[in-house]
Structure formats: structure tokens, C-alpha cells
A = this chain, B = another copy of it.
Amino acid sequence: MRIGYKEAAQFIGGCDNVLILTHASPDGDTLGSGFALCRALRNAGKKANVLCSDDFPKRFDFMYTGCEPMDFEPQTVIAVDVADAKLLGEKLSVYADKVQLCIDHHISNTEYAERLLLGETSAAACQVIYRLLREADMAIDDQTAVCLYTGIATDTGCFKFENVTKETHLIAAELHEYNIPFAKLNRQLFDIRSKDRIKAEQLILSGFETECDGKCAVVVLTLDLIEKANIDPDEFDGIASVIMQVEGVEIGITVREKTKGVFKASVRSASEADVSAMCRKFGGGGHIRAAGCTLEGTPDDVKKRLFAAAAEALANGA
């Protein structure tokens, strides 16, 4: 059941002993939303914990300090930035049909929760959380503001992507009232790369091939290649955008060999090409500009099939 800010504010104002669920493979927005809400609820004298099926990533350490788990008997279950109960992951799957309120911004939300507060045009769930806390008249301190800013900044690629709206900037302006080390935080979130991450990006930028006059680019990272380069496999997360940095590339495909002969392709489009349709041909899917699929075969065979499909997607989108 869809609800508005007023009703959602009343709900969180009246709840207690809250479990806040984030999605598996957590990103800055789900964690920012979770910890901002948690802090605000605790500041209002309530008990709340943030849960995730996966371990909290070290790179968002600054969000967790001072928000250690409390001991209580759960009464309320709220999910943040979780579009589908399946995305809760294994450990939290037990709550899949127990979510009383979902606060989200994905238009693909499957409405699995009892109540859904959906900010359809919000760039991040943190934008929705911010408005909700204001509606509920709940105090926002510096640390809460840091969490909200992190969610908004990471989901927009630091105010860069297509999801940025006037409201995104207005909220960012309001967050500037708080004592947040913005530049230092931005540097940490967007600029700094580990040595392994740099190696991974170099592998991609020196190893890609192109067709269709440079418009389609494919790079295949075999198990062999990754092992020889001695790169921590974790460093490949979120790396599918790197190939899009190459001038002229409209469809960029980053392929990783997951197990021998099984290749996961991450496809990105910067043009009118629909890569979700392209990936569906291989049994995959996703969004118009970002999708994925799995292929089996040899590196050369996989490359050939992907180039062919990309050329077709380009022609269809033209």
C-alpha cells in the first residue's frame, strides 16, 4: 500500500524497537539511509539496529561509528532502498514477508512491504529519508547528515548522473548547513583508488578492443589474466563504468570469467542503445543503460557474440 510522507512520518514517530533492513551487496545509499534513519530514531529515544545479509563494507566505516548494535526484542521492520524482497539476501530473507514499511526510490519496487513510501523522482533513498525526517520533525545531527550526504553523493556519482534533479541540489544545499568534511569525504568516496583497483582499471584500459568505428568496446578479463596481475577480485566491483571513459564508446562491455568458461558481462550504454534488450537475448537483463548477462564458451567466442549483439543494439537504437 503506497503511503505519503505524512503517514510515513506518523508511522516512524510511533514505532520502536526497529530493525532497519538494507539490501545485500550494500552500497552507499542503502547504508546511508539505514544509518541515518537509525541515528535519528535513537536520537528520538527509540531503539533501532541496521541489518544486512552481508558484512558492512570497510569503506563506509565512518557511518557506523557510534551506532553499535543495541539489544532489544524487535517490534518493527523497516526496509530502506530495497526494491524487491529478493534483494535482502539470504540472512535477511526471513523478514521478506514481515516488512511493515519500505522507504525507497526505485520505480521498479515490487510493493512487497505492508506500506511503501516511494520517492519516484528522488536520485537516492537518502533524499526520501531526509524529507521524511523533516516531516517527522526528527533531529538531524552532523553524523546523520554525513550518512544522508553519502547516499545522495554515491547514487549520483557526485552529482553527475542523469538522476540528479533540482531537488537533489536543494537538499545538498541544506546539508551544507551541517559540519561535514565534504571535500575529504568526496575524495574518499570518488577519487582514491587502492593499488589493486588502479591495476584493475589499467588492465581494462589497455586491454579493450573495439568495433563499429570505436562505438562498441569489449574487454575480457580471464581468470588467468586476473591471477597473473595478482589483483584482489573484490576490486572489480563497480568497474563496468571505466570502459565508458574511452572517447567515442557508446556501448562498453566488461567481461569477467567467474569460473572456467563462464563469463559475466556487464554492459553499459551511453547512447540510445537499449542494452537491457540486448542482454535479454542471452537470458540476462537490467536497465536500458546498464544491464548484464552470462555467457559460456571461449574468450574469443564470447567476445564475438557480444560484439555482434552490441552492433545490433546500436543499429536498433539509431
- Is residue A169 contacting chain B, with contact meaning CB distance below 8 A? yes
Q: Which of B160, B161, B169 contacts A176 (CB 8 A)?
A: B169
- Is residue A259 contacting chain B, with contact meaning CB distance below 8 A? no
- Is residue A192 contacting chain B, with contact meaning CB distance below 8 A? yes
Q: What separation, in Å, do the CA atoms of A236 and B209 have in the docked complex?
A: 24
Q: Which of B162, B174, B245, B270 contacts A198 (CB 8 A)?
A: B245
Question: In the assembled complex, how far is the CB of residue A209 from the closest CB belonging to chain B, in whole angstroms?
Answer: 13
Which of chain B's residues have a CB closer than 8 A to the CB of A169? 169-170, 172-173, 176
Q: Mark A292-313, 1 if CB is under 8 A from B, else 0.
A: 0000000000000000000000
- Is residue A166 contacting chain B, with contact meaning CB distance below 8 A? yes
What bracket does the count of chain A residues touching chain B fall in? Answer: 35 or more
**Are A166 and B159 CB-contacts (below 8 A) given A202-B205, A202-B206, A247-B193?**
no
Q: What separation, in Å, do the CA atoms of A160 and B176 have in the docked complex?
A: 13
Q: What separation, in Å, do the CA atoms of A241 and B192 have in the docked complex?
A: 11
Q: Are A177 and B170 in touch, CB under 8 angstroms? A: no
Which of chain B's residues have a CB closer than 8 A to the CB of A183? 160-162, 164
Taking CB atoms and an 8 Å cut-off, the chain A residues in 134-175 that contact chain B are: 158-162, 164-167, 169-170, 172-174
Interface residues of A, dominant DSSP: helix
Which residues does A use to contact B, with CB under 8 Å? 158-162, 164-167, 169-170, 172-174, 176-177, 182-183, 186-187, 190-195, 198, 202, 205-206, 241, 244-247, 270
Which of chain B's residues have a CB closer than 8 A to the CB of A205? 198, 202
Question: In the assembled complex, how far is the CB of residue A72 from the closest CB belonging to chain B, in whole angstroms?
Answer: 38
Q: What separation, in Å, do the CA atoms of A205 and B161 have in the docked complex?
A: 26
Q: What separation, in Å, do the CA atoms of A195 and B248 have in the docked complex?
A: 10
In the complex, the chain B residue whose C-beta lies closest to that of A165 is B176
Mind listing 19 A-B residue pairs with CB under 8 Å? A158-B159, A160-B186, A161-B186, A162-B182, A162-B183, A166-B176, A166-B177, A167-B173, A169-B170, A170-B173, A173-B173, A187-B244, A191-B245, A193-B246, A194-B247, A198-B205, A198-B245, A202-B205, A202-B206
In the complex, the chain B residue whose C-beta lies closest to that of A159 is B159
Across the A-B interface, the 8 shortest Cβ-Cβ residue pairs = A169-B173, A166-B176, A162-B183, A159-B159, A169-B172, A169-B169, A160-B186, A166-B173
